[in-house]
Amino acid sequence: EVQLLESGGGLAQPGGSLRLSCAASGFTYSSFSSFVMNWVRQAPGKGLEWVSSVSGNGGTTYHADSVKGRFTASRDNSKNMLYLQMNSLRAEDTAIYYCAKGDCGTPSCFNDWFDPWGQGTLVTVSS
Amino acid sequence: DIQMTQSPSSLSASVGDRITITCRASQTMNTYLNWYQQKPGKAPKLLIYSASTLQSGVPSRFSGSGSGTDFTLTISNLQPEDFATYYCQQTYSTPRTFGQGTKLE
């Protein structure tokens, strides 16, 4: 059973930076590098917002317009790790950040789905 | 970007009821539509993918249908553990947009 565990959340000042990590485990017959990995966030009391996706080999990334140029998703397949580098943080970035495994190898594939999800890590941006 | 609109935003129901949630896409997207359930303080959980395929372990009282732009999630014989918020998501294109959610209470 694949399990995901996020870390790295906390309090950051506006304009500051944080780096989130997502540790993946439980890949048996298939490799971590075979699957797209995603970041999704949820502001307090709000709905789900897709943030970014990284291809299985890490060579292709997509980011939401709301974070483009400030956030960078990456992965280290040798460690089964996913990362989200968040720079120039704003108050509106305050949210729980979830990592989620996709079922495709590339972020642009059709018919993908997110499963499983990690438990999330809270990022608070405030002075 | 494809916009996903769920209705209703909230829904009151009772144990044993049958309910339907609708998700409409701003453009046609075949059957590339997923449904998730989220309970308070928990991560979302995949219920249905490809519009109508039940994820392993999900009770058969959940069902999904639709294609193109209009999709539905139906829960038959509501159980106490089904009271949660439900989200649809399209994966026809990036960004992988979600509906705004439907709170079942």
Taking the C-alpha atoms of residue B62 and residue B53, their distance in angstroms, rounded to an integer, is 10
Q: Which residues of B touch A108 (CB under 8 A)?
A: 93-94
A107 has a pLDDT exceeding 90:
no
A30 has a pLDDT exceeding 80:
no
pLDDT at A29: 67
Q: Which residues of B touch A64 (CB under 8 A)?
A: 95
Find all residues with CB under 8 Å of A18, minimum gap 6, and list them: A8, A9, A10, A12, A86, A89, A123
Interface contacts (A, B; CB < 8 Å): 71
| Confidence grade of residue A109 (pLDDT, cut at 50, 70, 90) | confident
Is B43–A98 a contact, with Cβ atoms under 8 angstroms apart? yes
Tokens of A39: 């970041």
Distance from CA of A1 to the nearest CA of B (A): 12
Query: B86 and B36 in contact (C-beta within 8 Å)?
Result: yes
pLDDT at B42: 98
| A47 contact B CB<8A | yes
Is A38–B96 a contact, with Cβ atoms under 8 angstroms apart? yes
| B100 contact A CB<8A | yes
- Could you report the per-residue pLDDT of A68-100, keeping only the tens digit for each? 999 999 999 999 999 999 999 999 999 999 999
Choose the mutation target among B7, B34, B38, B91 for the interface with A, i.e. most A CBs under 10 Å.
B91
pLDDT at A105: 79
Burial of A69 (0-12, 13-18, 19+ CB in 10 A): exposed
Question: Amino acid identity of A126?
Answer: S
Average pLDDT value for chain A: 95
Question: Amino acid identity of B2?
Answer: I
Tokens of A46: 């709000």
Question: Amino acid identity of B101?
Answer: G
Query: B52 and B62 in contact (C-beta within 8 Å)?
Result: no
